[in-house]
Every structure is written in C-alpha cells, then in structure tokens.
Amino acid sequence: MIQLKTPLREEDVRRLKMGDKVLITGTIYTGRDAAHKRMYEALARGEELPIDLRGEIIYYVGPCPAKPGEVIGSAGPTTSGRMDPYAPALLRYGLKGMIGKGLRNKAVIEAMKEYGAVYFVAVGGAGALLAERIKKAEVVAYPDLGTEAIYRLEVEDFPVIVAIDAQGNDLYFEGRKKYQKVG
C-alpha cells in the first residue's frame, strides 16, 4: 500500500504504476460535469480558476448532504467519462490526479502522459464507507451548483487504485487483455 500526501509532486505521480493500491491523505477537491464546464470555459477565456488546482486531485463526486453530526453524506465516485471533454485543459493547467470510476478516452490519457498525471479509481457502491475517510468538507466554489459545487475535502487514508498511470498504462485495458479467452 502506497501512502500519498497532497499536493502531489511530479515525482510522486511518475513513480505510481497501474494497479498500485494507494491511501491519500490531505486535501482533494470535488468536481462534476457542471463545475468542469465552468472551469474549462474560464481557462478558455484566459481567467484564473476559483481554486488553484496545480498539484491537486479532483474527485468526481457529488456528495449527498450530511446527516446531523456527520461531515458529509455518502460520497461515492461518479462516471469519469463525462469529464473527458474538459480534463485535458485542467491537466495542462497543472491538475495531477483524478478519482472516479470507469474508462477514460484517448485524449485524456495522452494529456496525462504529457503533463504527468494519474487516474485513480474508487470503489463504486462504497460511498458511505468512503465518506468515513473524509474528515472535513466545505464548499469553495460555485455554491449555486448545490451538490455539484466544488468542495475542498480533507481526507485521511482515502483508498484508491491507480487505474491509469502517467505512462498511459490502463488497468481497464490490461485487465481485459489478461482475462480474454484464447482461441
């Protein structure tokens, strides 16, 4: 098990390999479709983002509201492919990690290789368990988006797996290849 602290440095990212099990401690940010679109449009206009994502990780999640006495509600990953149109621009900006579930397109993988970034997967269906690793949550941008606002999360030993490393090795592709029937 690899322990990582945020923000991520290029050497942290480049040493990770497809299939590595990782525990993340520190700050991560949330972001889904609507927030990604706004950030993408801001960058296209030459504007600064509302948060500095250089060296950071975005978790593709729209957390459920917290019950009384809890930091956050269920916080399971959402399908990453919906962020694919926007991800290369954020990687160029300096984003170093993404957490979600599901496949990524070729443009995202090429941008990860070029800019030194990693794609982690979190276990879908385990949102309540993942929420236990979140120690603090606060909205830091786009509050009008409700659960799709950008949150700053303080996490401790947040469990993920490297699905695509900075060299472009893809666990989804390699896993399928490994278990295909021969002949």
Q: Rounded to 5 degrees, what are φ and ψ at 33?
A: -50, -55
Side chain identity at residue 173, one-letter code: F
Check: CB of residue 137 under 8 Å from CB of residue 72: yes
Closest by CA to 24, choosing from 104, 135, 128, is 135
Strand, helix or coil for residue 104: coil
Tokens coding 98? 């993404």
Residue of 24, 30, 36, 84 marked active site: 36
Tokens coding 176? 């399928």
Q: Is position 159 annotated as part of the catalytic site?
A: no
CA distance between the termini of the chain: 36
Count Cβ atoms within 10 A of the Cβ of residue 147 and give its class: 0-12 exposed, 13-18 middle, 19 or more buried: middle
Cite the DSSP H helix spans in 55-122: 87-93, 106-115
Residues acting as catalytic residues:
36
